[in-house]
């Protein structure tokens, strides 16, 4: 293994060894605190273009299995870990090589995480030698690529007709919708969404995806027209775009929420549960228009984690009710969405 | 919101330390009491175990050191009328007591509520039938099983399902009485025992899922129904070995996320359906290949596992559970680690935690080392590192045994034998696996034979490979390789061994090359939030997180894993020392490796390093902290053994110096001192070889006490009557390779003192009188304080001798001295210049703040300045009795006291008068027989006269007597009626049948040791929980106690200390 390091824009250096694809790469560096579920995260299109740091030190302990993937390939640009376990089936380091994902191992990921927590999300470069870092590239440009790469889902014939608007959806969203009794169809974000009003769609799910939602505001008007007419659920990026569609703004978080242990309070019941988060942006509270009400908030830092559109059957959740990876405590949000269609 | 109707609460402790119920409940109980105090609640505590922090009278408003029986707790409740009881922090003992109080109608009658998880939920989780019904209702998979109340029904089930079957008695501790039955005969035996062990005479027989992955979840639920999974843990040892005896890691290492989530969701459903309000532990068996799982067990209380989870994550489970019990919601309880978030979250770890059990087999060579469903370990260690392989190496180094993960003795063992041992799973299995890996055995085959997951085996193989790489480099070890080896987790000691250097040389190399550990924070959130926990572990990484503490800083060395001879008492002393330091504005830094204890609660000290108590790790920490001093006197022998290394590295040992410690431990030098100050000790010699021992024994004279030098808890100590027995002892091989000590054995009364000296003054905190004459290990003797029938002249002599020895040695701090008194002649048996196991007991009953005084002396203050008397601390107007408690039934060893310590715990009895205090202690230790039970007496010829006297008293008290031939004749000769019983094997039915038939409530067996028949009988007795007294002195005390029928007052320790006696 060749020596290498992660160089951040502020000049800090985190030494390690190169593995996987072993190429020099740049990307936005984010840390994820999930202790398992690395296959799901690496294949989650929301991580497209990012350098993913796992805080848990030993990654790859149970290999890579196809049933754990959230999409057809790995999307993270690079993986930074303390230790890569060479375990079957389909050894993670080997898989990263095939997927073109650079791995930097042997890193003091806790030191790196502490830097990101204090200084905020950073742009970084993994290389053998020190080289100029940046400038940062917008990640939203990944949306089209991840959508184009997605394989069409297996058709489901029965149940309520739910159309998923794809910004880089995770496979788990479709799995849970189908299990909840939906007949799921996926359309790319770029299609004319007005068509959904005519094609028998009973409910719309606006998916997660990579990048800064404010860069994607061109999609907002379409989403608004849908949300005013059809039951609509936005997830993560979809939730942010729903907010933007009704006049809210999003803002970047200092270092984002990436993990599977974030408590979220349902303001309706007053009760909290654990959820999966993967967002570097959130709806800004001061930007909320009267049309929107906050339904969920993060128990730790008060971040808006859910909104509803007044008088409409349109909701957004910033967290991932589909989990994958993470706790299943919020599966009910997708299940109820399907169950209440047509009622 | 906190329930305003709860103004006073009784917390039930877990009683004496036994295998399966140990120090973890002191940790949880202490946390609960502190959590309740914070809520402004008047907290009451009951526990019969004085060697605990939770019974510190400064902690609760009233501490009752009373037996944990229905009657005694009822009296406390009647007197105190608390609003509620917290029963879920006192282990199975607390839970069973709560159920018993509820069943007896006591709670309803007094209007006392069970707080937190209620009786209905406890019953549903604990009662096998109810639990199974609930699982079926929830459609949760459980092993196929049947609940039986008689042997025949069990045999019928076996015919249907096949063998092997697992036997689990209902409501027992640590799986006691259970086991795996592989054939019909074994099933019949285990079944009948299991039925007997179960207080409800109920046993679960179930399909064996041995070999599956054992996974545990620690879950906390509040009254509003909000739930969090604090931690999940994976056992390295597959199903079939009790989790208390398994190597466990956190978080789960080999389970994919969907499997973890599936189990987590199942745990939430179960905990919700049970209606748990507080902590709950759930165990699963997981078959990854089949994609299935089974729910194995649910414990609706804090547990050993929850203590481990608390230490592994930093999340204080017991504390949170106590808050929930008084009505708070998870999102209303602040997270003390971040101080900005709440308890409603799930910790994320950025390290790997490994727990390894500590077994007592080094002391019990005769015990069955096979591991199974019955727990056998007395304690455990935990290690934190950044990889599994580094963590497990650290954990093994923390065990403080002669052994290591790599056991060089196995190099000589033939490979087929290794395979057999790998399959059969005793406590040394991992070392066997390591040896197989060293010989190049295929990983896949080891996986097949042991069912240990490939990931763990691959990690072990990495250890083998890293050692080999270092060995190849040998003297050419370079900085890069050494740094890599340290990151792989190899200790300096292993590197030294592999490269032919000394540990000190490797350390010097590391220092020269700047290869030093960094210390990282345990913060529950993997660095996501700023944390204030002062809780660290060492690793070889880029960034260090430890900032300097404001001086002065003192480092306190803990005592490591709980083992026989070095138990929870030392943790109590260490915690007290920390408190004493902090009260004086000194920063106290704790080093310890035991996850069960209060000392490793990070909120106790200014800084906690969770590291092995080994020279390498301790010196590294000292180099970081640069303390003004190190306390080695409160962590038992483990800490004391580090004194020399600490001093050699240039750090002052507070109080008594390493040189003084050496003098006390070195026989020759100690003898010379005694001679110079004119104090007697039993004649003795040291021999370097068995031949020399045989030769010099005659000069000392028989009987002789034989032992290796540098002993802990009387390890391998024996009394021999003649040369034949000596030869036998010498050839048993347990004496080790060092010097062998031979002492004249004086069969006199044993007395023990704890004292503090400052170089000028000596305060004797108290004299403890042992009921059993010398020859029974002091830790296994019943001790009485203040001593009875000890004349002022002898007392004065004891104080005088204690002073002479303490000052002669130059002790500055603790000293414990044992004396033997025979025919008015007082002799010294041994002196230990450190805190002893009797201190927590003695402090509570004498009121002398022993640890505080010794700590202050260590800080340089004089006893005079501290206002301590020179001489004997005033004795109180009541009597306290300390009684040992044994875990014989778990270990299948001979239930016979002797010079080697065997007890795992202790209880106390306090009363204004001696017989009642004694009786309380015996009741608390579960030694007292039921009224009018049968007593089987078998006395040795030598002690027949004394035995007859005891029998006469028992006869008067209404006990029916049984006796074997010789004793029967002796009794008849004195006109005492007894039923003659054939000795073991003499005829059928014999004495064993009598015991098994349930007709005997007490056995007095003082015949000489070593008889096969006696062992069989005592084995039968322990299996049936029939107390067996093997010292005539204990028997006499028992008779005296049973003679007392009046009930004493129901008073708290605080009231006793204030001089109240009624």
Residues A1-56 pLDDT 10s: 689 999 999 999 999 999 999 999 999 999 999 999 999 999 999 999 999 999 99
Separation in Å, CA A146 to CA A167, A184, B181:
8, 19, 57
* A322 included as an active-site residue: yes
Nearest CA in chain A to B255: A62
What residues 642-661 of chain B have any CB closer than 8 A to a CB of chain A?
none
Q: How far apart are CA A286 and CA A51, in angstroms?
A: 31
What residues 431-490 of chain B have any CB closer than 8 A to a CB of chain A?
454-455, 458, 487
| Average per-residue pLDDT for chain A | 95
Query: SS3 for B937?
Result: strand
Nearest CA in chain B to A259: B348
- 3-class SS string, A34-72: CCCCHHHHHCCHHHCCEEEEECCCEECCCCCCHHHCCCC
Q: How far apart are CA A107 and CA A82, in angstroms?
A: 5
Q: Are residues A110 and B350, on separate chains, in Cβ contact within 8 Å?
A: yes
Residue of A236, A262, A279, A305 marked catalytic: A236
- The closest CB to that of B255, out of A31, A36, A56, belongs to A36
Q: What is the pLDDT of residue B932?
A: 83
Q: What is the pLDDT of residue B686?
A: 84
Q: How far apart are CA B166 and CA B178, in angstroms?
A: 8
- Whether B73 and chain A come into contact, CB under 8 Å, resolves to no
- Whether B542 and chain A come into contact, CB under 8 Å, resolves to yes
**Facing residues of B825 across strands?**
B822
CA nearest A136: which of A151, A115, A154, A120? A120
pLDDT-based confidence at residue B174 (cuts at 50, 70, 90): low
Q: How far apart are CA A224 and CA A206, in angstroms?
A: 11
- Our CA dihedral for B236, B239, B242, B245, rounded to 10 degrees, sits at -20
Interface test with A, best of B224, B253, B256, B352 (most A CBs within 10 A): B256
Q: Are residues B350 and A113, on separate chains, in Cβ contact within 8 Å?
A: yes
- The answer to whether the beta carbons of residues B340 and B237 sit under 8 Å apart is no
Q: Is the pLDDT of residue B1041 over 60?
A: yes
Residue B982 is given by DSSP the state P
Q: Is the pLDDT of residue B772 over 90?
A: yes
Q: Which residue has the tokens 């295929």?
A: B442
What residues 264-293 of chain A have any CB closer than 8 A to a CB of chain B?
265, 270-274
Helices in chain A by DSSP H: which ranges?
38-42, 92-99, 109-119, 142-149, 171-179, 220-227, 237-245, 331-339
- The closest CB to that of B261, out of A14, A31, A327, belongs to A327
- pLDDT tens, B782-840? 999 999 989 999 999 999 999 999 999 999 999 999 999 999 999 999 899 999 999 99
pLDDT tens, per residue, chain A with 343 residues: 689 999 999 999 999 999 999 999 999 999 999 999 999 999 999 999 999 999 999 999 999 999 999 999 999 999 999 999 999 999 999 999 999 999 999 999 999 999 999 999 999 999 999 989 989 988 888 898 988 888 888 777 789 999 999 999 999 999 999 999 999 999 999 999 999 999 999 999 999 999 999 999 999 999 999 999 999 999 999 999 999 999 999 999 999 999 999 999 999 999 999 999 999 999 999 999 999 999 999 999 999 999 999 999 999 999 999 999 999 999 999 999 999 997 6
Largest CA distance in chain B: 85
Q: Is the pLDDT of residue B305 over 80?
A: yes
Which contacts of B132-138 are long-range, i.e. CB under 8 A and separated by 24 or more positions? Answer: B134/B270, B134/B273, B134/B274, B135/B270, B135/B295, B137/B273, B138/B269, B138/B270, B138/B273
Which residues on B lie below 8 Å from A327 (Cβ)?
Answer: 229, 261, 264-265, 346
B911 phi and psi, to 5 degrees? -165, 160
Report the gap between the CA of B602 and the closest CA in chain A (Å).
20
Residue B603 is given by DSSP the state T
Residue of A26, A291, A305, A322 marked catalytic: A322
Which residues on A lie below 8 Å from B351 (Cβ)?
Answer: 57
| Helices and strands: H and E segment counts in chain A | 8, 18
Q: How far apart are CA B555 and CA B632, in angstroms?
A: 9
Which residues on A lie below 8 Å from B224 (Cβ)?
Answer: 270-271
- pLDDT tens, B252-268? 999 999 999 999 999 99
CA nearest B898: which of B706, B733, B724? B706
**Facing residues of B653 across strands?**
B630
What residues 819-838 of chain B have any CB closer than 8 A to a CB of chain A?
none
- The answer to whether the beta carbons of residues B342 and B243 sit under 8 Å apart is no
Q: Is the pLDDT of residue B752 over 80?
A: yes
The per-residue b/e assignment along B791-819, b for 16 or more CB within 10 angstroms, e otherwise, is eeebbeebbebbbbbbbbbbbbbbbbbbb
**Strands B629-631 and B879-885, bridge-based pairing:** unpaired
What residues 878-907 of chain B have any CB closer than 8 A to a CB of chain A?
none
If you write DSSP's letter for every residue of B76-142 in order, what string do you get? HHHHH--SEEE-TTSHHHHHHHHHHHHHTTHHHHHTPEEPSS-HHHHHHHHSHHHHHHHHHHHT---
- Whether B330 and chain A come into contact, CB under 8 Å, resolves to yes
Q: How far apart are CA B934 and CA B936, in angstroms?
A: 7
Q: What is the pLDDT of residue B34?
A: 97
pLDDT-based confidence at residue B715 (cuts at 50, 70, 90): low
- Whether B525 and chain A come into contact, CB under 8 Å, resolves to yes
- Whether A263 and chain B come into contact, CB under 8 Å, resolves to yes
| Rg of chain B in Å (alpha carbons) | 28
Residue A273 is given by DSSP the state E
- pLDDT tens, B1011-1037? 667 888 888 888 788 999 999 999 999
| Average per-residue pLDDT for chain B | 93
- The answer to whether the beta carbons of residues B322 and B348 sit under 8 Å apart is no
Which residues on A lie below 8 Å from B252 (Cβ)?
Answer: 36
Q: Which of these ranges, B283-297, B608-622, B676-690, has the smallest mean pLDDT?
A: B676-690
Neighbouring residues of B117: CB distance < 8 A, sequence distance ≥ 6: B88, B274, B275, B276, B277, B278, B280, B300, B301
Q: Are residues A36 and B264, on separate chains, in Cβ contact within 8 Å?
A: no
Which residues on A lie below 8 Å from B313 (Cβ)?
Answer: none
- The closest CB to that of A261, out of B346, B350, B352, belongs to B346
Per-residue pLDDT, averaged over B736-751, amounts to 85
Q: Are residues A110 and B264, on separate chains, in Cβ contact within 8 Å?
A: no
Q: Is the pLDDT of residue B209 over 90?
A: no
Which residues on A lie below 8 Å from B268 (Cβ)?
Answer: 329
Q: How far apart are CA B444 and CA B430, in angstroms?
A: 16
Which residues on B lie below 8 Å from A114 (Cβ)?
Answer: 527, 543, 545
Which residues on A lie below 8 Å from B265 (Cβ)?
Answer: 327-329
Which residues on A lie below 8 Å from B220 (Cβ)?
Answer: none
Tokens read off for B18: 């036994």
* A32 included as an active-site residue: no
Neighbouring residues of B349: CB distance < 8 A, sequence distance ≥ 6: A35, A56, B250, B251, B312, B313, B526
Per-residue pLDDT, averaged over B82-91, amounts to 95
Per-residue pLDDT, averaged over B964-983, amounts to 94
Report the gap between the CA of B253 and the closest CA in chain A (Å).
7
Q: What is the pLDDT of residue B487?
A: 98
Q: How far apart are CA A81 and CA A68, in angstroms?
A: 19
- The answer to whether the beta carbons of residues B599 and B610 sit under 8 Å apart is no
- Whether B291 and chain A come into contact, CB under 8 Å, resolves to no
Q: Is the pLDDT of residue B714 over 70?
A: no
- Our CA dihedral for B1001, B1005, B1011, B1017, rounded to 10 degrees, sits at 0
CA nearest B762: which of B813, B697, B705, B836? B813
Q: How far apart are CA B924 and CA B884, in angstroms?
A: 10
Q: What is the pLDDT of residue A236?
A: 97
Q: What is the pLDDT of residue B16?
A: 96
CA nearest B820: which of B755, B884, B733, B748? B748
Task: Give the count of Cβ contacts less than 8 A between chain A and B.
Answer: 152
Interface test with B, best of A3, A13, A33, A171 (most B CBs within 10 A): A33
Per-residue pLDDT, averaged over B466-479, amounts to 95
Q: Report angle CA B202, B205, B208 to the nearest 5 degrees.
A: 150
- The closest CB to that of B225, out of A110, A117, A271, belongs to A271
- The closest CB to that of A57, out of B227, B352, B529, belongs to B352
Residue B1030 is given by DSSP the state -
Which residues on A lie below 8 Å from B528 (Cβ)?
Answer: 31, 33, 55, 113, 117, 259
| Rg of chain A in Å (alpha carbons) | 19
Q: Are residues A85 and B455, on separate chains, in Cβ contact within 8 Å?
A: yes
Q: Where are the beta strands (DSSP E) in B809-897?
A: 813-822, 825-832, 871-872, 879-885
**Facing residues of B764 across strands?**
B755, B872
Q: How far apart are CA B659 and CA B664, in angstroms?
A: 9
**Facing residues of B768 across strands?**
B752
Q: Is the pLDDT of residue B928 over 80?
A: yes
B852 phi and psi, to 5 degrees? -60, -45
Per-residue pLDDT, averaged over B937-966, amounts to 93
Q: What is the pLDDT of residue B898?
A: 86
Q: What is the pLDDT of residue B1012?
A: 67
Q: How far apart are CA B425 and CA B92, in angstroms?
A: 27
Q: Are residues B386 and A259, on separate chains, in Cβ contact within 8 Å?
A: no
CA nearest B522: which of B508, B538, B503? B538
Query: SS3 for B259?
Result: helix
- The answer to whether the beta carbons of residues B533 and B314 sit under 8 Å apart is yes
């Amino acid at each position: 293994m060749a020596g290498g390091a992660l160089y951040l824009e502020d000049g800090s250096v985190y030494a390690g060894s190169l593995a996987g694809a072993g190429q020099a790469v740049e990307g936005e560096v984010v840390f994820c605190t999930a202790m398992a579920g690395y296959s799901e995260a690496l294949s989650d299109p929301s991580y497209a273009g990012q350098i993913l740091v796992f805080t848990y030190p030993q990654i790859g302990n149970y290999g890579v299995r196809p049933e754990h993937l959230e999409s057809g390939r790995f999307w993270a640009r690079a993986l930074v870990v303390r230790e890569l376990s060479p375990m079957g089936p389909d050894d993670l380091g080997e898989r990263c090589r095939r997927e073109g994902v650079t791995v930097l191992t042997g890193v003091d990921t806790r030191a790196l995480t502490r830097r990101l927590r204090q200084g905020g999300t950073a742009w970084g470069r993994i290389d053998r030698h020190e080289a100029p870092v940046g400038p940062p590239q917008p990640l939203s440009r990944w949306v089209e690529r991840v959508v184009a790469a997605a394989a069409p889902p297996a058709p489901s014939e029965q149940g309520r007709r739910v159309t998923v608007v794809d910004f880089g959806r995770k496979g788990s969203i479709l799995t849970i919708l189908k299990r909840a009794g939906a007949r799921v169809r996926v359309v790319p974000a770029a299609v004319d969404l007005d068509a959904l009003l005519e094609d028998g769609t009973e409910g719309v799910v606006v998916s997660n995806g990579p990048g800064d939602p404010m860069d994607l505001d061109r999609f907002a008007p379409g989403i608004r027209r849908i949300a005013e007419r059809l039951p609509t659920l936005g997830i993560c990026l979809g939730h942010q775009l729903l907010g933007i569609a009704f006049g809210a703004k999003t803002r970047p978080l200092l270092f984002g929420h990436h993990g599977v242990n974030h408590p979220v309070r349902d303001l309706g019941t007053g009760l909290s549960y654990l959820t999966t988060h993967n967002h570097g942006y959130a709806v800004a509270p001061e930007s909320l228009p009267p049309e929107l009400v906050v339904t969920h908030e993060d128990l730790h830092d008060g971040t808006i984690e859910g909104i509803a559109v007044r008088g409409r059957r349109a909701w957004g959740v910033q967290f991932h009710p589909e989990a994958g990876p993470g706790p299943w405590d919020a599966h009910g949000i997708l299940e109820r969405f399907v169950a209440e269609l047509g009622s | 919101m906190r329930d305003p109707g709860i103004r006073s609460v009784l917390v039930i402790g877990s009683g004496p330390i036994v295998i399966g119920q140990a120090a973890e409940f002191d940790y949880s109980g202490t946390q609960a009491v502190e959590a309740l105090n914070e809520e402004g609640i008047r907290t009451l505590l009951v526990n019969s175990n004085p060697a605990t922090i939770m019974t510190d009278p400064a902690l609760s408003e009233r501490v009752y050191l009373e037996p944990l029986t229905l009657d005694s707790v009822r009296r406390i409740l009647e007197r105190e009328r608390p609003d509620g009881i917290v029963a879920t922090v006192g282990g199975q003992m607390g839970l069973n007591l709560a159920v018993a109080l509820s069943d007896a109608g006591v709670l309803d009658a007094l209007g006392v509520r069970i707080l937190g998880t209620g009786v209905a939920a406890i019953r549903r989780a604990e009662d096998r039938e109810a639990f199974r019904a609930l699982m079926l209702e929830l459609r949760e998979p459980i092993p196929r099983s049947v609940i039986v109340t008689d042997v025949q029904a069990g045999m019928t089930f076996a015919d249907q399902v096949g063998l092997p079957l697992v036997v689990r008695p209902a409501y027992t501790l640590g799986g006691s009485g259970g086991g795996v039955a592989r054939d019909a005969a074994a099933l019949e035996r285990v079944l009948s025992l299991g039925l007997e062990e179960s207080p409800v005479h109920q046993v679960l027989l179930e399909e064996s899922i041995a070999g599956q992955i054992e996974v545990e979840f620690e879950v906390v639920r509040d009254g509003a129904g909000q739930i969090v999974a604090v931690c999940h843990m994976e056992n390295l040892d597959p199903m079939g070995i009790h989790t208390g005896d398994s190597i466990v890691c956190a978080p789960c290492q080999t389970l994919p996320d969907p499997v973890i989530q599936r189990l987590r969701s199942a745990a939430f459903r179960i905990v919700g359906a049970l209606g748990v309000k507080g902590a709950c532990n759930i165990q699963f068996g997981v078959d990854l290949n089949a994609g299935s799982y089974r729910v194995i067990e649910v414990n609706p209380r804090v547990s050993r596992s929850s203590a481990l989870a608390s230490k592994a994550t930093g999340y204080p489970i017991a504390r949170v559970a106590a808050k929930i019990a008084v009505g708070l919601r998870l999102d209303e309880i602040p997270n003390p680690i971040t101080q900005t978030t709440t308890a409603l979250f799930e910790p994320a770890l950025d390290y790997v935690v490994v727990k390894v059990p500590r077994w007592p087999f080094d002391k019990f060579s005769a015990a069955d080392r096979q591991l199974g469903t019955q727990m056998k370990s007395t304690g455990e260690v935990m290690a934190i590192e950044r990889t599994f392989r580094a963590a497990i190496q650290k954990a093994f180094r923390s065990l403080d045994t002669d052994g290591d993960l790599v056991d060089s003795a196995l190099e000589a063992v033939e490979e087929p034998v290794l395979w057999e041992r790998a399959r059969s799973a005793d406590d040394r299995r991992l070392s066997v696996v390591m040896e197989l890996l060293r010989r190049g055995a295929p990983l896949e085959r080891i996986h097949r034979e042991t069912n240990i997951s490939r990931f763990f085996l691959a990690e072990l193989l990495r250890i083998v490979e890293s050692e080999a790489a270092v060995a190849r480099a040998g003297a050419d070890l370079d900085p890069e390789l050494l740094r890599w080896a340290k990151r792989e987790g190899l200790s300096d000691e292993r590197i030294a061994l592999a490269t032919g250097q000394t540990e000190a040389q490797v350390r010097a190399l590391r220092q020269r090359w700047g290869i030093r550990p960094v210390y990282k924070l345990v913060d529950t959130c993997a660095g996501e939030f700023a944390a204030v926990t002062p809780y660290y572990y060492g690793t070889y990484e880029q960034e260090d997180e430890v900032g300097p503490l404001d001086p002065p800083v003192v480092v306190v060395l803990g005592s490591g894993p709980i083992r026989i001879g070095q138990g929870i008492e030392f943790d109590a002393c260490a915690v007290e020392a920390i408190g004493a330091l902090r009260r004086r504005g000194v920063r106290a830094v704790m080093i310890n490796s035991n996850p069960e204890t209060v000392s490793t609660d990070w909120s106790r000290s200014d800084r906690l390093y969770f590291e092995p108590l080994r020279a390498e790790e301790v010196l590294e920490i000292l180099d970081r902290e640069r303390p003004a001093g190190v306390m080695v006197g409160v962590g038992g022998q483990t800490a004391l053994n580090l004194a020399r290394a600490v001093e050699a590295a240039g750090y002052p040992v507070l109080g008594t110096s390493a040189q003084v410690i050496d003098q006390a431990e070195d026989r020759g030098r100690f003898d010379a001192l005694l001679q110079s100050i004119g104090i007697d000790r039993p004649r003795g010699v040291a021999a370097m070889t068995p031949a020399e021992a045989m030769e010099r024994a005659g000069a000392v004279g028989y009987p002789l006490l034989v032992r290796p030098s540098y002993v802990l808890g009387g390890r391998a100590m024996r009394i021999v009557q003649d040369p034949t027995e000596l030869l036998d002892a010498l050839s048993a091989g347990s004496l080790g390779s060092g010097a062998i000590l031979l002492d004249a054995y004086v069969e006199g009364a044993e007395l023990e003192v704890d004292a503090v000296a400052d170089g000028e003054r000596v305060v004797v905190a108290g004299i403890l009188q042992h009921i059993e004459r010398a020859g029974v290990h002091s830790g296994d003797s019943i001790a009485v304080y203040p001593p009875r029938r000890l004349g002022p002249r002898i007392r004065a002599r004891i104080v005088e001798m204690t002073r002479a020895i303490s000052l002669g040695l130059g002790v500055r701090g603790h000293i414990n001295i044992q004396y033997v008194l025979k025919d008015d002649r007082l002799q010294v048996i041994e002196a230990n210049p450190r805190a002893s196991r009797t201190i927590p007991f003695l402090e509570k009953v004498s009121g002398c703040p022993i640890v505080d005084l010794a700590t202050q002396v260590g800080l340089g203050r004089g006893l005079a300045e501290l206002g301590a008397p020179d001489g004997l601390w005033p004795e109180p107007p009541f009597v306290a009795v300390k009684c040992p408690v044994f875990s014989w039934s778990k270990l299948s060893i001979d239930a016979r006291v002797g010079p080697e310590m065997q007890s795992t715990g202790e209880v106390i009895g306090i009363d204004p008068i001696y017989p009642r205090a004694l009786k309380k202690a015996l009741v608390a230790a579960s030694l007292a027989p039921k009224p009018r039970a049968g007593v089987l007496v078998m006395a040795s010829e030598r002690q027949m006269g004394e035995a007859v006297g005891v029998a006469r008293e028992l006869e008067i008290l209404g006990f029916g007597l049984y006796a074997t031939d010789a004793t029967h004749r002796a009794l008849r000769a004195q006109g005492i009626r007894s039923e003659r019983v054939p000795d073991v094997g003499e005829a059928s039915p014999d004495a064993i049948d009598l015991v098994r038939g349930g007709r005997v409530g007490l056995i007095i067996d003082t015949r000489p040791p070593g008889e096969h028949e006696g062992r069989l009988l005592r084995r039968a007795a322990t299996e049936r929980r029939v107390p067996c007294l093997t010292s005539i002195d204990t028997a006499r005390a028992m008779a005296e106690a049973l003679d007392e029928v009046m009930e004493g007052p129901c008073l708290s320790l605080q009231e006793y200390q204030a001089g109240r006696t009624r």
